[in-house]
């Protein structure tokens, strides 16, 4: 696959798959064909065809993430899944929830709010800086565990720092201590091999509209069999099968009132497109492109990379420090001036943000990206840094 398989606007250099990944034309067409089917006979589709179609669509996704299709359900996105978990896990004022300091802002908010509501303690454990050894990371993170820890929440691939975390080792250690783990994995599925049965977490929340290029508004929630009978739906509806199938915990999530399910049903086509391209090829090509960009950006800025060994800690997305003033009082939706300038002057979409009082840029590469895109970014950065130095 290459850019011609997508419908990105001409002239746009899109280096932000990590936030929002466009889907190939074939996936968009597949989605439309499901919408057409619904429009031709809504009763047939919603009350008879929908549930078997959802069941079929879960199989390739479950295979991709290494578990049985009975252990996953479709949700709109990782945020939705995380909220379901927060609704399900019971906390009291004696409990603690442990997270890393690299967690996504909205996830922090879900758990901070839940802790506030229940009186539980919200514990953020710092990871080593820089990230050098996986063993050291696990040991350092687990120092945050106490006899009160009721849940661990950790990213598989972090958002701000784009680091692949050793979640399997953390889950296995947590299992020995009987602490459930919820993994926030929207960047991992597709970008790196994921085997949920081997990881053996309790919950895994992910979005399919990032690295597997499925339609927007598609995600998955994995629930370990030990939790399935305890899941609380985010939205209360009928709670049973609409076409009279055997009851399942997934019923609470398949039918949450009448809605458009075409995105979920197009997930298998998204997986097929990347499978045809070759998963290994996709992962290698996109990692190499991100790696090329990161080396050149470090040469340009003269700054030490956040993570030294990108081959170990990164997939198709790398975060790099950049010079310049950090934004104070940064809010969601308020953009760094360089990010705004790159878009306005060069039509480059790339996130630039402040994390721990330092300024970073995150480069994401997918099948539609080329060396030309990265070179265009490098030229734009070079010109922008020169301009900003002149104006200081």
Ligand X SMILES: Cc1ncc(COP(=O)(O)O)c(C=O)c1O
Query: Could you write out the DSSP letters of every residue in 213-276?
Result: -PPSS-EEEEE-HHHHTTPPPSS-S--S-TT-PPP-TTHHHH-SSS---HHHHTHHHHHHHHHH
* Residue 207 interacting with ligand X (CB under 6 A): yes
Q: Please say whether the beta carbons of 164 and 135 come within 8 A.
A: no
Q: DSSP letter for 94, please.
A: T
**Using alpha carbons only, what angle is made at residue 95 by residues 94 and 96, rounded to the nearest 5 degrees?**
135
* Residue 243 interacting with ligand X (CB under 6 A): no
Query: Which position among 17, 79, 286, 319 is part of the footprint of ligand X (CB under 6 A)?
Result: 79
Least Å from the CB of residue 209 to ligand X: 6
* Residue 317 interacting with ligand X (CB under 6 A): no
**Is omega for the bond preceding 193 within 30 degrees of 0, making it cis?**
no
**Cα–Cα distance for residue pair 276/312, rounded to 1 Å:** 26
Least Å from the CB of residue 317 to ligand X: 10
Angle between helices 134-142 and 167-176 (to 10 degrees): 40
* Residue 16 interacting with ligand X (CB under 6 A): no
| Contacting residues for 44 by C-beta, under 8 A, at least 6 apart | none
x/- mask, ligand X, residues 149-188, rule CB under 6 A, reads: ------x---x------------------------x-xx-
Ranges within 106-125 binding ligand X (CB under 6 A): 107
Least Å from the CB of residue 157 to ligand X: 7
Least Å from the CB of residue 79 to ligand X: 3
**Cα–Cα distance for residue pair 369/375, rounded to 1 Å:** 11
Least Å from the CB of residue 229 to ligand X: 26
Least Å from the CB of residue 199 to ligand X: 16
Q: What are phi and psi of 360, to 5 degrees?
A: -135, 155
| Contacting residues for 311 by C-beta, under 8 A, at least 6 apart | 287, 291
* Residue 78 interacting with ligand X (CB under 6 A): yes
Segment contacting ligand X by CB under 6 A, of 72-80, 87-95, 190-198, 354-362: 72-80
* Residue 77 interacting with ligand X (CB under 6 A): yes
* Residue 320 interacting with ligand X (CB under 6 A): no
Residue 155 or residue 369: which is nearer to ligand X going by CB? 155
Query: Which position among 6, 14, 34, 104 is part of the footprint of ligand X (CB under 6 A)?
Result: 104
- Cα 291 to Cα 12, 131, 166, 266, 365, distances in angstroms: 21, 17, 21, 31, 10
Least Å from the CB of residue 363 to ligand X: 15
> Residues interacting with ligand X, by CB under 6 A?
19, 77-79, 104, 107, 155, 159, 184, 186-187, 207
């Amino acid at each position: 696959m290459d850019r011609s398989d997508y419908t990105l606007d001409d002239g746009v250099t899109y280096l932000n798959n990590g936030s929002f990944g466009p889907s190939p034309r074939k996936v968009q067409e597949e989605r439309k064909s499901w919408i057409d089917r619904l429009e031709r006979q809504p009763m047939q589709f919603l009350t008879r065809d929908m549930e078997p179609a959802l069941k079929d669509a879960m199989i390739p996704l479950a295979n991709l993430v290494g578990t049985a299709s009975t252990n996953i359900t479709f949700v709109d996105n990782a945020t939705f899944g995380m909220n379901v978990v927060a609704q399900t896990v019971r906390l009291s004022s004696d409990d603690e929830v442990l997270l890393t300091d690299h967690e996504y802002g909205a996830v922090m908010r879900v758990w901070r709010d839940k802790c506030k509501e229940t009186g539980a303690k919200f514990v953020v454990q710092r990871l080593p800086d820089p990230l050098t050894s996986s063993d050291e990371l696990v040991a350092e993170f687990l120092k945050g565990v106490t006899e009160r820890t009721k849940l661990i929440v950790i990213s598989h691939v972090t958002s701000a720092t784009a680091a692949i975390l050793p979640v399997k080792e953390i889950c296995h250690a947590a299992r020995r201590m009987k602490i459930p783990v919820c993994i926030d994995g929207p960047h991992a599925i597709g970008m790196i091999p994921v085997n949920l049965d081997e990881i053996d977490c309790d919950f895994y929340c992910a979005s399919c509209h990032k690295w597997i290029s499925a339609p927007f508004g598609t995600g998955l929630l994995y629930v370990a069999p030990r939790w399935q009978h305890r899941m609380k739906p985010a939205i209360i509806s009928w709670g049973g099968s609409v076409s009279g199938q055997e009851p399942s915990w997934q019923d609470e999530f398949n039918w949450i009132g009448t809605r458009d399910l075409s995105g979920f049903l197009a997930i298998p086509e998204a997986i097929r497109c990347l499978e045809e391209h070759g998963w290994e090829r996709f992962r290698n090509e996109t990692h190499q492109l991100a790696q090329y960009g990161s080396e050149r950006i470090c040469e340009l800025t003269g700054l030490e990379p956040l993570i030294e060994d990108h081959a170990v800690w990164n997939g198709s997305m790398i975060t790099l420090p950049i010079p310049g003033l950090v934004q104070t009082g940064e809010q969601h939706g308020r953009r760094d001036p360089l990010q705004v300038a790159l878009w306005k002057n060069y039509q480059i979409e790339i996130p630039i943000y402040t994390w721990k009082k330092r300024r970073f840029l995150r480069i994401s590469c997918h099948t539609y990206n080329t060396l030309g895109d990265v070179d265009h970014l490098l030229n734009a950065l070079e010109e922008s840094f020169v301009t900003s130095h002149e104006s200081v």
